[in-house]
Amino acid sequence: MKKALSYAALTALGLFLVAPFVWMLLVSLQPNKAPIPTLDHLVPKHPAWSNYHLVLFEQPNLPVLRFFLNSVIVTFSIVLGQLFVSSLAAYGFARMNFKGRNYIFFIFLGSLMFSGPVTQLPVYLLVRSLGWLDTYAALIVPGVSSAFSVFLLRQAFSAVPNELDEAARMDGAGDFRIYSRIIMPLSGAALATSAAFCFFATWTDFFWPLLSTSSSNMRTLEVGLSVFKNSYGNTNWPLEMTATVLVMIPLLVAFLFSQRYFTKGIMIGSIK
């Protein structure tokens, strides 16, 4: 009885969370320029898959494939950059001893909590004075390191037993060797978690790409979608929903592949 109630609650909640996505998909398959149908006519008799062709290939002012390519380039550069830069710093903070270490780490943490609202404008001015506006440099460079991933990786690196590096040190290994041959390979799960967080945060970032790019060839998918919305202005619902579905697909695919790294809580029940 309790079990049945739980399943009922879970299903209701699942519907509440997923129904909007299903509805989005169904609206995207309505004929181009059709009004949103009532619920009983929601499932189209002749799904208009041509909407997808139209959005992907026939929008000269809205190069969706280019948006996608930009998102891929920017996101992968930032994920790789963060993995490298942040893991180096995390190793320094977790496994090495130097003067002022804890103070510097504290500044990293502080910036994480409090720099958000006040840094956008000056970073924009900085990027503008470097002549980077509307280039990949503007989209990528401000993101290649993050205090959050330094924090996350430091926790993981601290958990690796010290005996391992001591043994390596006996064999004459230096810190860089220990970092690359012992700590990094042993921290695969933490690196994957950090990469997953970074991937989703960067791919769905809206504010910074909106500010730092202006030509449609430099827009990311996220900003491109908002431009798409502005140029259709609630006039062509099926096409707008098609664009929205297209933006969602890569995210869903990435989530399915990365969810076990993305959140421990989701999987923990199945490990137990």
Partner 1 sequence: MKKGRLGYLFIAPATFHLVVFAIFPMLFSVYLSFFKWNLLTSERSFNGLANYAYAFRDPQFWNAMWNSTKYALLSVPLGMIVGLLVAILVNQKLRGITLFRTLFYIPAISSGVALSILWIYIYMPETGLINSVLGLLHINNKTDFLKNESLAMFALVFMSIWVGLGPRMVLFLSGLIGIPPSLYEAAELDGAGKLRSFWNVTLPMLIPTTFFVLITSTIGALQIFTPVYIMTQGGPNEKTDVVGYHIYVEAWSKFLIGIASAKSFVLLAVIVIISIIQFRVLKNQLEGYSTT
Contacting partner 1 within 27-46 (CB under 8 A): 27, 35-39
Which is closer to partner 1, CB of 38 or CB of 61?
38
**Binding segment for partner 1 among 43-51, 52-60, 180-188, 235-243 (CB under 8 A)?**
235-243
**In the numeric block, which tokens belong to residue 93?**
């903070």
To the nearest whole angstrom, how small is the minimum distance from the Cβ of residue 137 to partner 1?
13
Under a CB-based contact definition with an 8 Å cutoff, are residues 212 and 124 in contact? yes
Contact between 10 and partner 1 by CB under 8 A: the answer reads yes
Distance CA 85, CA 150 (A): 8
* Residue 180: exposure state from Cβ atoms within 10 A (0-12, 13-18, ≥19): middle
Under a CB-based contact definition with an 8 Å cutoff, are residues 169 and 178 in contact? yes
The DSSP secondary structure of 26-81, one letter per residue, reads HHHTSPTTPPPPPGGG-S-SS--THHHHHHHHS-TTS-HHHHHHHHHHHHHHHHHH
Contact between 229 and partner 1 by CB under 8 A: the answer reads yes
* Member of 104, 159, 167, 189 binding partner 1 (CB under 8 A): 104
Contact between 225 and partner 1 by CB under 8 A: the answer reads yes
Whose structure tokens read 């309790």? Answer: 2
Contact between 226 and partner 1 by CB under 8 A: the answer reads yes
Contact between 67 and partner 1 by CB under 8 A: the answer reads no
To the nearest whole angstrom, how small is the minimum distance from the Cβ of residue 19 to partner 1?
7
Which is closer to partner 1, CB of 3 or CB of 46?
3
* Member of 43, 65, 126, 189 binding partner 1 (CB under 8 A): 126
